[in-house]
Amino acid sequence: MQLWRPAARRPKRPHAVSESERILGALERAHDRLTECLERLDEVTGQLTPDGQRHACCRRDLAEAKQERAAAVQAAFDYLSEHVTAEQTGELEGVRLLGQQTLLVSAEHVRSWPADSIAWHWSHYHAASRAVRSHWLDLIEAEQRVLCRLLRAL
């Protein structure tokens, strides 16, 4: 005859991650990566003489980080648009407008600085890059202030 024994206790499952937490994590990682890429580009363009290979690598990494951020921001907007109040929708639109303006400034910068002219005007390019970097950092700050705050509240 076999005695009854209680089943082995199952380990507690960790707290399931909500959709808002998942989106928030992706957005924070994207912001961190983009900020890191912007800082590296600033360091590279701040050198006295251009290093074309490092500069090209930084620009490639920056482009990838911007795409990652764009996807995370779009996911945040899609999710939040279904879960926020009318007042909060106005905040979202403000961030969306700032994002569009930043993309325009960035596109104008790229158009104004073809690859063959960068090395010839390195110090001017650094100053122009810093101005665009400032727009991106302002946008990241606004997204953290609005999008991240709203995602944490859900």
Residue 38 contacts by C-beta under 8 Å, 6 or more apart in sequence?
62, 133, 136, 137
Q: Is the residue at 137 inside a domain?
A: yes
Query: Does 14 fall in a domain?
Result: no
Q: Are 99 and 73 in contact (CB under 8 A)?
A: yes
Residue 10 domain-assigned? no
- What is the mean pLDDT of the segment spanning 88-109? 98
Helix axis angle, 122-143 relative to 86-112, nearest 10°? 170
Domain count, the chain: 1
Q: Which residues are CB-neighbours of 36 under 8 A, at least 6 positions away?
A: 65
Q: Compute the average pLDDT of residues 29-38.
A: 98
CA separation for the pair 91, 7 (Å, rounded): 52
**pLDDT tens, 38-64?**
999 999 999 999 999 999 999 999 999
Range of the domain at 138: 19-45+54-153
**pLDDT surpassing 70 at residue 132:** yes
Q: Assess contact for 73 and 31: CB atoms under 8 A.
A: no
